[in-house]
Amino acid sequence: KRLGWAVVGLGEFALGQVLPALREAKYSRLTALVSGDPAKARRVADQHGVDPKNIYSYDNFDSIRDNPDIDVVYIVLPNGLHAEYSVRASRAGKHVMTEKPMATSPEECEQMIQAARAANRKLMVAYRAQFEPRHVEVARLTRTRAFGNPRAITAEFVQNQGDPAQWRLDRNLAGGGSLPDIGLYPLNFSRFVLGEEPSAVMAHISSPPNDPRFREVEDRVAFTLHFPSGVIAHCLSGYSAHRSSRFRIMSERGWASLDPAFAYERNRLTVGRRVGQQEGIEERQVEDKSQFVLEIDHLSQAILENKPVKTPGEEGLRDHVLMRAIYRSAEEGRRITLS
């Protein structure tokens, strides 16, 4: 059985990644669209075989309640709208997948979790990296201690943002700058790989003065996560340099490295360790399955089999609590300890 999915927001990511993934999925299929642009919605419905009666606007969105073709609502709107639509979808009795970052504050995350719980429906945050096969392999190598105990992580995700008028540079719609948008990948993936929660954070922020892109949100964030095991993760995000995404975990007897780490496809995994008397560096071939298809079908399967999801609302909440501590550390110029 394939569950019916409604996609809310038909922007670049929804059209470029989410809709194609829903076509490929085994347990999920696109059955409805929610958009503020009726002509675009008609066109997309036509392309993807969606019944025109299943096109909704933001105003009549709550009437999805009466539509049995919709099991899951996938929210692909600007970050500042995730909480509102997630809560409305839960109240309409639907399961929810929300894009990352989950929301713009821990308080919004709590509201979303509460609404899903009250409706007895699932809530999942689209942390695609946790489904990417190479990423899963790095987590497996780390958690099985294949190269001994992990000691340190370096991770980064930076890219250029062009248009100063886009929502990603608007504080209310984005919730912050590079940190919640792409710094979230080093943050979430470090926690995932180690299977451990940071006990303290420290951070520095730097934005070019007089750059119209950074009037409301920050550019670069350098942050360190301290884990109870002693591992230090040194992370970086930024919005004013050419795209670069890398992840490396260094353990006692070897390292695993992803470069690129957070691309949509063709990430590359290399490992380095001593082989006999020599240092060996080897590229690991891992089958390139779509992280988007895996993530979408994960939620459908969890619903069909009534199992917990790997990246529930609580996972998003944890990152938002950590991001707030990261901002506070930079602002106050000190290490912030987490309980």
Cβ-based nearer residue to ligand NAD, 36 or 230: 36
Tokens of 315: 């996972």
Based on the shown chain and the rule CB under 6 A, indicate whether residue 79 belongs to the binding site for ligand NAD. Answer: yes
Residue 185 annotated in active site: yes
Residues near ligand NAD (CB under 6 A), total: 19
Query: What are the CA-CA distances from residue 289 to residues 129, 264, 295, 300 (Å)?
Result: 12, 11, 11, 17
Cβ-based nearer residue to ligand NAD, 196 or 259: 259
Q: Show the CA angle centred on residue 112, arms to residues 107 and 113, nearest 5°.
A: 95
Of the candidates 157, 185, 151, 183, the one whose C-alpha atom is nearest the C-alpha of residue 256 is 151
Q: Which residues does 320 contact at the CB level (< 8 Å), separation at least 6? A: 101, 102, 103, 105, 106, 108, 109
Q: Which stretch binds ligand NAD (CB under 6 A): 3-11, 64-72, 139-147, 297-305?
A: 3-11
Cα dihedral sign for 86, 217, 295, 225? Answer: negative
Tokens of 202: 């420290």
The residues with which 150 forms a beta bridge, in sequence order, are: 251
Tokens of 163: 């248009």
Q: Which stretch binds ligand NAD (CB under 6 A): 12-20, 107-115, 206-214, 267-275?
A: 12-20
One residue of 4, 5, 7, 9 binding ligand NAD per CB under 6 A: 9
One residue of 34, 50, 78, 179 binding ligand NAD per CB under 6 A: 78
Q: Which stretch binds ligand NAD (CB under 6 A): 6-14, 26-34, 306-314, 325-333?
A: 6-14
Q: List the interface residues with ligand NAD, window 276-315 (CB under 6 A).
A: none
Based on the shown chain and the rule CB under 6 A, indicate whether residue 216 belongs to the binding site for ligand NAD. Answer: no
Residue owning tokens 């009437």: 63
Given 27, 74, 85, 100, the catalytic residue: 100
Q: Which stretch binds ligand NAD (CB under 6 A): 73-81, 155-163, 248-256, 269-277?
A: 73-81
Tokens of 162: 């062009």
Q: How far is the CB of 8 from ligand NAD (least distance, A)?
A: 8
Strand 232-238 versus strand 244-251 pairing type: unpaired
- The residue with its CB nearest to ligand NAD is 11
Tokens of 4: 């019916």
Q: How far is the CB of 162 from ligand NAD (least distance, A)?
A: 13
Look up residue 71 and give its amino acid. Answer: D
Cβ-based nearer residue to ligand NAD, 129 or 236: 129
CA distance 69 to 87: 19
Is 235:156 a contact under the CB 8 Å cutoff? Answer: yes
Helix axes 106-119, 313-332, angle to 10 degrees: 170
Of the candidates 154, 132, 178, the one whose C-alpha atom is nearest the C-alpha of residue 323 is 178
Q: How far is the CB of 206 from ligand NAD (least distance, A)?
A: 22
For residues 161 to 190, the per-residue mask of contacts with ligand NAD, x marking binding by CB under 6 A and - elsewhere, is ------x-----x-------x---------
Residue 310 annotated in active site: no
Tokens of 236: 């970086």
Based on the shown chain and the rule CB under 6 A, indicate whether residue 200 belongs to the binding site for ligand NAD. Answer: no
Cβ-based nearer residue to ligand NAD, 104 or 207: 104
Of the candidates 49, 83, 86, the one whose C-alpha atom is nearest the C-alpha of residue 64 is 86
Cβ-based nearer residue to ligand NAD, 296 or 322: 296
Q: List the interface residues with ligand NAD, window 80-119 (CB under 6 A).
A: 81, 99-100
Name the site residues for ligand NAD (rule: CB under 6 A).
9-14, 36, 76-79, 81, 99-100, 126, 128, 167, 173, 181
Residues marked as catalytic: 100, 185
